[in-house]
Amino acid sequence: MTDIVIRDEELDALLRAAPWMPEDGRKADRYARVDHAVLGSAALLLVVAAVGGPASGRRFFVPVDVRGGRGELQEAHATEEFNRAAVLRTLTGGRLHTARGGTVEFRGAVGGPGGAHQVRRLSFDQGWSSNALSLMEIGGVEHIHKTYRCLDEGVREPDLLRLMNGTGRTPEWAGDYTYTDPASGTRHPLGVVYRYAPGEGIDVPLRQNLRSLWPALTRLLEKGSPREVARSHLRPLEGRLREAGRFLRGFHEDLADRLGDGSPQPDYPAGERLAQAEERLAELYGRTTADPVLPARSVRDAFHAMDGEVAALRAVLTRPGVSWKGGPCHGDLHLSHLLWRPLALIDLSTPSVAPTAPGWAAQSPLEDVVALQRGLEYFAADEAAFEAAGRLGADSLETMLGSLDGAAGFTGTGRAELLRVFAVADSWRERVRDLLLGPATDSSSPLRRLLYLRRLLHELAYNHAHARPYHAAIDLRHALRLASPYSEDVRP
């Protein structure tokens, strides 16, 4: 395999057509081979860099299948040979030397499964992922073999899974492998093997519950208010949602215990993070008001509400002797990352993994609470916009914008129908939030409100950068809600 020659044009064609390649990486002038290691006869483990373009310098991990000298370059992720060889090497441990003097180091769990005859690849519909996942059977037990495409991102999942082994909160780690850069000595995770966690994300039963409400909406509203209808319809999920909330709190306790060193958690840098939020708010104003799709008055009102929230938080955060403690968190929690049956958390992205690591103080379990709250807001608004569009024969962008500006573009029964659908979806979302994340009064915590504002601004900036007015409208309709009574009287 070491005699295989990979032509630049082959590599270019492979990467530009790769569905996982981010858009800025696809715009590179060319791709340069930085380093590689040979994984037996199964694959070349290539490290490739984008040269020129907006992602210039970013590196990617590309296992390449070059068996048989076919002259056709293909990624190896889909092959039995690569997955089996990588998993076996991980489980047994060891090291490969790279062409430029680096290493690829494999480590497996002590006493973990092994043996050539015990590992095989199974069929698996992974859905969309920017990384590569394969389902492997190891000693009769299903495992995931996951490889990370982008080498320079801060991937901490393998170490976090290893540290959380035995808690029952995350999939059981079986091993991982990393690339050590010969120039800098920096370690970059390439892949991880962990026990497959079956089940669906919490978004699946929530979607089923909300969609089953719509056919009976008119009849149900004849007997009760949107709030009463939502509470009644969610009753079958109440116990499980409360259990999921307790599970999340237990995860944070276990994570803090596994990552901490016994020293007190430092104060969260709330004042600094508020200043950053204020800067981003000012930057976004011009971009948002210039969007011709978004209703101008609603945009102005939303930014007025966010300005008021910043002022209210500043008044609290500048009080002498006031501080808030943080702690480690999942880091990028989506509804789909909280598995429903059995309860488990996947795709950990904890920002800082030790008290001595950068960013330890600037994280909080409330980030995960806020992430799920924002996820519920997107989820319920999207479902309502789709349902209202179907009822009115309109486009979902029209109904989403209608939910933002009071359905100014609709008249008569159409306006009433749109507002009714969104009112029920909002009541349903608030009930799910209370069951899963605690009562609405908990939202008045200054730190939680600060983290909510930061995430809302981050997502609004992302939606502008990617020309997504539909999603920006969701951000703005929830920004408007910041002008609520608790903003006027905040206590630490």
Q: What is the pLDDT of residues 392-414, one digit of tens each?
A: 999 999 999 999 999 999 999 99
Query: How many Å apart are CA 463 and CA 291, to the nearest integer?
Result: 11
Query: How many Å apart are CA 240 and CA 208, to the nearest integer?
Result: 15
pTM of this prediction?
0.90
| DSSP secondary structure string for all residues of 385-428 | HHHHHHHHT--HHHHHHHHHHTSTT--HHHHHHHHHHHHHHHHH
3-state SS class at 152 = coil
* Residue with tokens 């969609």, as numbered in its chain: 211
> Which amino acid would we find at residue 408?
A
Q: Classify residue 412 by its DSSP letter.
A: H
CB 296 within 8 A of CB 470: no
3-state SS class at 115 = coil
Strand partners, 39: 43
CB 376 within 8 A of CB 276: no
CA dihedral defined by 424, 427, 431, 436, rounded to 10 degrees? 90
From 143, 195, 144, select the one nearest 165 (Cα to Cα): 195
Residue 192 host element (H or E): strand 187-195
Residues 6+ apart with CB under 8 A from 443: 373, 449, 452, 486
Q: How many CA atoms lie within 13 A of 483 on its CB side?
A: 14
pLDDT 10s digits, 128-165: 678 999 999 999 999 999 999 999 878 999 999 999 99
Query: How many Å apart are CA 47 and CA 36, to the nearest integer?
Result: 6
> Which amino acid would we find at residue 173?
W
pLDDT in tens, the chain (492 residues): 455 678 889 899 999 989 999 889 999 999 999 999 999 989 999 999 999 999 999 999 999 997 755 557 889 988 999 999 999 999 999 999 999 999 999 999 865 554 445 899 998 876 667 899 999 999 999 999 999 999 987 899 999 999 999 999 999 999 999 999 999 999 999 999 999 998 899 999 999 999 999 999 999 999 899 999 999 999 999 999 999 999 999 999 999 999 999 999 999 999 999 999 999 999 999 989 999 999 999 999 999 999 999 999 999 988 888 889 999 999 999 999 999 999 999 999 999 999 999 999 999 999 999 999 999 999 999 999 999 999 999 999 999 999 999 999 999 999 999 999 999 999 999 999 999 998 755 667 899 999 999 999 999 999 998 899 999 999 999 999 998 644 333 322
172 class by beta-carbon count within 10 Å (0-12 exposed, 13-18 middle, 19+ buried):
buried
